[in-house]
Amino acid sequence: MTAVADARAASAPADGRAPVDGHAPATRAARRRAPAAALDRPTVSFELFPPRDVDAAPRLWATVRELEAAEPDFVSVTYGASGKTRETTRALVTRLLRETTLNPIAHLTCVGTSRAEVAAVVEEFLDEGVRAFLALRGDPPAGQADWQPHPEGVATAAELVALLREVEQRRCAGSPAQAVRARVRPLSLAVAAFPRGNQATGGTRQQDVQALLAKQEAGADFAITQVFFDAEAYLGLVAEARRAGVTIPIVPGIIPTTDPARLLRVQELTGVPVPRTLLDLLGSVDDPLERHRRGIRAGVDLVRAVLDGGAPGVHVYTFNKHEAALDLLDGADLRGGRPAAAVPTTSTEPAGDLAVGPTPTPAR
């Protein structure tokens, strides 16, 4: 079983607490009954971010239930700059553990926090039964041009990975029972990778490969890439990483390419250029349904290209909206739960805002 597949088992609830809606028994049964065929398919995963307000919560949970039916291997939950969504992230991850069949990975950053503060946050997640993290350095807080490590904190994602391992080892050393549980459900750690180099730090792809190697040596199990729009960017990163000694799986991060405004916003935030041909393809039609279809076809082509090139699966940035994400999986015949539609048709979800969660812009 690959490290990515391990994450699917790593986040099962640690206790027998039943949620108020009674989903726990089905959750446990579903995790036990993974069909053999599912182990051979490419991994599928999604990114979610905590609801920004009370009104957004019902929409998010409607999306969660739709994504759940696709039987993803895991979902990642973002963690705002400077830990500003710490409580809402933990609440969402905990609810996903207790009330769904989904396996959450909690994003974690080290911006503006000491080692002791980060360790305390990790302990909180572990106490809730979380067994998988996406370790990110994090971006500078709003209004701060350059990233500055906390004087008593960690400076890189590799150091954060090492700290996570230290916390787990300390817990196991202090409790034989915890040591047994850790053997049954090992801690799974993901990190970020950058097909075009880390634009936030001005790093080249070669520098990012060296950073990825350091994350692997610190204890990372697999990587998820920043958004990209051409398969060669991903395939080139993987080839260069393998030559440098990186052996962990590298999962491509894919954004549904259906909304030109969102694509331009992603470009602004990440520095990753959106191909003019893609913008022209989407902008040359006024019909929103046709624009959606064109965007899905472009996304499907990208997914197929990276899978044909050896990618272990795909991680879809959903922006807390399910329709385009599921249409993308349908087009690539990757839907796990229900038969895939032959041709994506329409999007009925509201346009919402253009906010981008931390994963499309992860920092070293």
- Residues with a known catalytic role: 47
Identify the residue whose tokens are 């809730």: 128
40 within 8 A of 121, measured Cβ to Cβ: no
Of the candidates 201, 295, 216, which has an alpha carbon nearest to the alpha carbon of residue 254?
295
225 sits in which H/E element = strand 222-225
Identify the residue whose tokens are 């599912």: 38
DSSP per-residue codes, 55-94: THHHHHHHHHHHHHTT--SEEEE---GGGTTHHHHHHHHH
Alpha helices in 3-55 (DSSP H): 3-10, 24-32, 36-40
2 within 8 A of 248, measured Cβ to Cβ: no
Q: How far apart, in whole angstroms, are the C-alpha atoms of residue 50 and residue 144?
A: 23
DSSP per-residue codes, 312-346: -EEEEE-TT--HHHHHHHHHTT--SSSPPPSS---
CA angle (139 as vertex; 57, 271 as ends), nearest 5: 95
Q: How far apart, in whole angstroms, are the C-alpha atoms of residue 246 and residue 39?
A: 23
Structure token pair of residue 172: 């196991």
